[in-house]
Amino acid sequence: MDFDGLKAWVGRRMSVDDVASLPPVASLSATLDRADPQPKPGDALPPLWHWLYFLEAKPASELGPDGHPKRGGFLPPVPLPRRMWAGSRLSFQKPIPLGAAIRRDSEILKVEVKEGRTGTLVFVTVKHLIRANDTLAVDEEHDIVYRNAPNPGDPAPQPKPAPADGSWSRGLVPDPVLLFRYSALTFNGHRIHYDHPYVTEVEGYPGLVVHGPLQATLMLDLVRRQRPEAKVQRFSFRALSPVFADRKITVGGRPEGSRIALWVANDAGNLAMDGEAVLEA
Summarize pLDDT for 106-121 with one digit per residue, the tens: 999 999 998 877 778 9
Q: Do residues 72 and 124 lie in contact, with contact meaning Cβ atoms separated by under 8 Å? A: no
Phi/psi-derived region of residue 33, left when phi > 0, alpha when psi is between -120 and 50, beta in every other case? left
- All structural domains of the chain, each given as residue ranges with its CATH number in brackets, are 3-279 (3.10.129.10)
pTM: 0.93
Q: 141 forms bridges with which residues in the sheet?
A: 89, 127
pLDDT digits (tens, 9 = 90+) for 22-31: 999 999 999 9
- Is residue 13 scored above 90 in pLDDT? yes
Distance CA 170, CA 166 (A): 11
**How many helices and strands in the chain, by DSSP H and E?**
5, 10
Distance CA 155, CA 7 (A): 31
pLDDT band at residue 147 under the 50/70/90 scheme: confident
- Is residue 179 scored above 70 in pLDDT? yes
- Is residue 154 scored above 80 in pLDDT? no
Nearest to 154 by CA among 116, 106, 122, 198: 116
Return mean pLDDT, the chain.
93
Q: For residue 115, give the amino acid letter.
A: E
pLDDT band at residue 133 under the 50/70/90 scheme: very high
Q: In the chain, which residue ranges form alpha helices assigned H by DSSP?
A: 3-7, 23-31, 176-185, 196-201, 212-226
pLDDT band at residue 153 under the 50/70/90 scheme: low
Return the biggest CA–CA distance within the chain.
55
- Is residue 281 scored above 90 in pLDDT? no
Helix (H) or strand (E) holding 24: helix 23-31
pLDDT band at residue 97 under the 50/70/90 scheme: very high
Percent of the chain topping pLDDT 90: 77
Considering only residues 278 and 64, tell me which one the structure prediction assigns the higher pLDDT: 278
Q: What is the CA radius of gyration of the chain?
A: 19
Q: For residue 84, give the amino acid letter.
A: M
3-state secondary structure 213-224: HHHHHHHHHHHH
Considering only residues 214 and 164, tell me which one the structure prediction assigns the higher pLDDT: 214
Considering only residues 66 and 41, tell me which one the structure prediction assigns the higher pLDDT: 41
Please give the average per-residue pLDDT across 36-56, as a whole number.
97
Nearest to 50 by CA among 15, 76, 29, 24: 24
Distance CA 169, CA 104 (A): 34
- Is residue 280 scored above 80 in pLDDT? yes
Q: Give the least confident one: 69-73, 84-88, 171-175, 184-188.
A: 69-73
Nearest to 163 by CA among 31, 242, 273, 55: 273
Kindly tell me the burial class for residue 102, based on how many C-beta atoms sit within 10 Å of its own C-beta (0-12, 13-18, 19 or more): buried
Q: Do residues 100 and 43 lie in contact, with contact meaning Cβ atoms separated by under 8 Å? A: no
pLDDT band at residue 236 under the 50/70/90 scheme: very high
Q: Do residues 248 and 162 lie in contact, with contact meaning Cβ atoms separated by under 8 Å? A: no
pLDDT of 156 reads 67
Three-state SS at 180: helix
Instruction: Kindly state the DSSP code that residue 267 receives in the 8-state scheme.
Output: T
